[in-house]
Structure 1
Amino acid sequence: MSDVVRLRFLISLGPALFLCLSLSAIGPSAAAPAKPAPPAPPPDQPVTVEEEVLSITDKITKPIDNDAEAMRHNDLGVAFVFKGDLAQAIDEFTHALRLQANYFAAHLNLANTLLDIGRYDDALTEFKAALRLKPDDLKAHNDYGVALKERGDLEGAIAEFRTVLRHRPDDVNAHNNLGVTLKAKGDTEGAIAEYRTALELQPDDVNAHFNLALALIDKQDLEGAVGEFRTALRVRPNDAKIRFNLGYTLAALGRRTDAAQELRHYLRLERDTPANRPWLEQAESKLRELEMP
């Protein structure tokens, strides 16, 4: 799991990336590389899947670039992202920039794709190039903030998210992004405030409910966390990762029957992939423990 996602829809089940097409189209990307397997949890302690930052823009500004060939390569890059061929997508975005060095959309698309494969320094270079071309573009500021968060520059990331919120204070996802980054910095109270602001703006936002639950676990408010997980599941009942976290939190509260039910549900929902295998094994082990007389 990763903490941050560029322009994404989901908290934990596979990121989707908004890309700048020549004709203002947008669409999803392949999932980010799998993270290393987490250590086994202590007995009866809630295990939390790290939250991801949600980012989404209402629209993409149509690029002013008139170089048809550069636009064609940019659009091909987006098509390869749809297919999950990120290496070919990077080649196409790079080709577009060779033809038109000041192509904002191609810089931003290349930056996000590089970030997806973990090439953080190269991604930061492309985000900076995009912002030199459009210093007031809030989407670029948000994405740059996500990249800085991934790179470990929490203060820089916070500054970028606050820039977005100064201009667009009702941006639910910027509040969520800021909350996750504040939590990573150790400011759990600040994170909770951002998640609650996001929920005031959009009460059914699954990401904010999920991230708020994780923050409440940090504050030892396990009952509050259970409430947030359950609220999130009312909106997205088949979210495996929320079921996983709810199961472990219920187990920590001693509610063995409810915990076992959630973990069984998780095991039915989660796909058996190499990336998910550590979580599946943890859930299977915990379920066996809960089912013991």
Structure 2
Amino acid sequence: MVKNTFIFALLGFGILFSCTSEEKVEDDQFFVKEEVKKEKDVFTQISDSLNENPENVKLWIRQGNLCKDELNFDCALNAGAKAFRIDSTNIEARRLYAWTLINKPKAPVSDIERAKRHYQYILSLQPKDPQTLVELANTFSLTGDFKTAIKYINDALKIDERYRDGYVLKGSIYKTLEKNDLALSSYQTALQIDPEFFIGHLNTGWLLTSIENHKLALEYYENAVNLKPDNLNAIYGVAKSLQDLGDYEAALAQYRKIEKIEPDFYITYFNQAFIKQYYQEELDSATYFYNKALEIHPKYLPAWYQLGETYYSQNRIPDAGRAFAEALRIDPNYAPVKEAAEKLRNK
């Protein structure tokens, strides 16, 4: 069984990267908190109407799709489940419910299989619908059956060669299979079809970041910022790309912008500290930012390690020892800290 990689395949929900040493950039598995900016008046109107008429399936579907568009998964799941319970014969209710089953975090295989059956039923009624074909393909990709997933995607694209999400999912599959040229081509095709596709620009930026084409990645992140100026994923992509390209002052300016939007985003402080430590040699500032990151995430191991290294460079040996000891308490097998602790003993 392949790990459930495609929970957000059609959404492109992304992973952000942080430095943990001078040479290495590691996947930190840090998901930036999504900004939810609902059309409050519309959402409130729907909610008020549902309070008066809680069995109105069309209203539940409308609310669920609004939540889906805003990536509010709990809300979408609630609405989808209620719509399907009220009228299981309603195709759109079934579709929404199936989508919520596979787009909740850490969806179990049982839910993926349930969603697959729902899509297969819809497909039996609407065999020429590209949306259903691609969403069914996604259920196969989630369980690692990429061959079948690609088949359904190609079937959808034969019906509508400009169906954007077919190329998005195909790109995500190719990325997982480490066929990066094909993944990039698929993402770029999706953007040619829909240049305003925000998640598409992020998908492409994330792919280019993973293959260390930071200059081109920066262009896609900037496109994403132009579409959504306050989106943390997009701004972080710009900031980290600038950092990877060595434009440290510009990167710091972007990190400060993120601080104003989301003060609890600890990677922002970690990356600023890393720049101060290794590239600008401002060690007091580096210790300040590492400690700031640790105030928010006290068990963030790389920050304890780098804080210890910074103290060591300042000849603050007791402070370095305490930082390394804390890192070892979190992970006794963390090799860089074990080496650093040995360095301290031999000083």
- TM-score under structure 2 length normalisation: 0.60
What does residue 226 of structure 1 align with? 287
Shift of 1:178: 0.8
Describe the shift of the 1:286–1:136 C-alpha distance in structure 2 as closer, same or farther (beyond 3 A). same
What does residue 126 of structure 1 align with? 186
CA distance in 2, matches of 1:67, 1:197: 38
1:155 pairs with 2:234? no
Describe the shift of the 1:187–1:289 C-alpha distance in structure 2 as closer, same or farther (beyond 3 A). same
1:191 pairs with 2:255? no
What does residue 5 of structure 1 align with? none
Describe the shift of the 1:205–1:130 C-alpha distance in structure 2 as closer, same or farther (beyond 3 A). same
CA distance in 2, matches of 1:192, 1:92: 45
CA distance in 2, matches of 1:112, 1:67: 16
Shift of 1:189: 0.8
Larger Rg: 2
CA distance in 2, matches of 1:48, 1:152: 13
1:248-287 aligned within 5 A = 248-270=309-331, 280-287=334-341
Match of 1:95 among 151, 154, 161: 151
Shift of 1:266: 2.0
SS of match in other structure, 1:19:
coil
Describe the shift of the 1:28–1:186 C-alpha distance in structure 2 as closer, same or farther (beyond 3 A). closer
**Structure 2, unaligned runs of 5 or more:** 36-66, 70-95, 100-128
Shift of 1:256: 1.7
What does residue 276 of structure 1 align with? none
Which deviates more, 216-225 or 66-75? 66-75
Contact persistence 1:17–1:28 (CA under 8 A): no
Describe the shift of the 1:118–1:124 C-alpha distance in structure 2 as closer, same or farther (beyond 3 A). same
How much is the aligned-residue C-alpha RMSD, in angstroms? 3.4
Amino acid at match of 1:175: I
Higher relative contact order (CA 8 A, sep 6+): 1
1:240-275 CA distance string (max 9 Å, x none):
222222222222222222222222222332385xxx
CA distance in 2, matches of 1:108, 1:121: 14
SS of match in other structure, 1:100:
helix
CA distance in 2, matches of 1:112, 1:245: 34
SS of match in other structure, 2:246:
coil
- How many residues end up aligned between the 2 structures? 246
Identical counterparts, % of pairs: 19
- TM-score under structure 1 length normalisation: 0.70
CA distance in 1, matches of 2:6, 2:251: 24
Contact persistence 1:209–1:231 (CA under 8 A): yes
**Structure 1, unaligned runs of 5 or more:** 1-15, 33-37, 39-45, 81-87, 273-279
CA distance in 2, matches of 1:288, 1:271: 13
1:165 pairs with 2:222? no
